[in-house]
Amino acid sequence: MTGRYRLGVMPGDGIGPEIVPAAVRVVDAALAAAGAQPVDWHELPLGASAIDAHGSAVPAATLAALAALDGWLLGPHDSAAYPEPYRSQLNPSGAIRKRFDLYANIRPARGFAGGTAIAPDTDLVVVRENTEGFYADRNTHAGTGEFMPTADVAICHGVFTRTAIERIARTAFELARRRRNRLTIVHKANVLQLTSGLFKRVCLEVAEGYPDVAVDDIHIDAMTVHLLRRASSFDVVVAENMFGDILSDLAGELAGSLGTAPSINASDERCMAQASHGSAPDIAGTGLANPVAMMLSAGMLLDWLGTRHGDRRAADAAVRVEDGVRAAVRGGVSTRDLGGTASTDEFTVAVVERIAGA
């Protein structure tokens, strides 16, 4: 692809209006350093401000605009603070993921030199199935998938399909081939023999098409222990929705903190960069927010674009984003949550300077 990418920007709530523009600045710097065309950015309303202005946390006009763009940056949302009825509706991130069938949530966890990681040698990726499993708000055509037959009984259901498992397994195996050719299937097939059992069996079937990738499988409860004891021995981990969510948060904390944990939500045709952490309303507007996760998520979007379009310069820019962020932290520049003194803007400037000087 030789033209300009058209990327959506949804700052969101809380610290979003601080960290998302920081990520935009870093993407612009990395593309310029790689000799690539600049991005056409399109800011779109979403979250609390959209409720005030448009009567919806995810306006129909925003969804229509997203469909015409090459990718998106989504800031954090504070849906728990929305007034009713918006608080009880599917949150903005979930609504977008469901609308565009963003079935793969890819969350790397890699320790930072100079950071505060519990396990600094962590270097793994959790590939999380993003549409089914035990998260009931995503696995039904309409409604939340939860119900209460009486005021004292609450029930939800989980959904597992061969189609969804096959495609997330293929995504995980393809990623393993780009990394260290190892993949771990996480499940609970010993107890949930039909649902989690299907997940395990189908992943192992897909594995037959990837003889170059070493495969093992571990129960979810045991996996938490293995991550704590030997995170560095894992490469790519594939799991259903809820298990993947839990494991990726754990891995992110081992590698530094959720403030450094990036992610993308992707299908075969679309990709949304979204940091793993929340909106941190208690520090919003203070300049204390850590933009690392959002910056690295934006870098992952560039890598996805580069892979999908065979765009060497976008892929190069993705590497420059990560290298610039890591060089800043390694050089002693970080926000307070990582033990430093830099403001959001000061850290962003440091990253841009290192990208430009690379």
What lies within 8 Å, CB to CB, of 134 at 6+ separation is: 156, 158, 240, 241, 242
Residue from 240, 245, 145 nearest 202 by CA: 240
**Catalytic position from the list 245, 303, 311, 316:** 245
**Catalytic position from the list 188, 200, 210, 235:** 188
**Catalytic position from the list 13, 135, 210, 303:** 135
Cβ atoms < 10 Å from Cβ of 237: 27
**Catalytic position from the list 28, 137, 249, 323:** 249
Q: Is there a catalytic annotation at residue 101?
A: no
Q: Is there a catalytic annotation at residue 188?
A: yes
- Cα–Cα dist 45/5, whole Å: 20
Q: Is there a catalytic annotation at residue 245?
A: yes
What radius of gyration do the chain's Cα atoms show? 20
Given a contact cutoff of 8 angstroms between Cβ atoms, the answer to whether 204 and 187 are in contact is: no
Q: Is there a catalytic annotation at residue 337?
A: no
What lies within 8 Å, CB to CB, of 39 at 6+ separation is: 4, 5, 6, 7, 27, 28, 31
Given a contact cutoff of 8 angstroms between Cβ atoms, the answer to whether 58 and 49 are in contact is: no
Q: Which two tokens stand for residue 207?
A: 């594995």
Element (H, E) at 229: helix 220-230
- Cα–Cα dist 129/267, whole Å: 11
Q: Is there a catalytic annotation at residue 135?
A: yes
Q: Which residues are catalytic?
A: 135, 188, 221, 245, 249
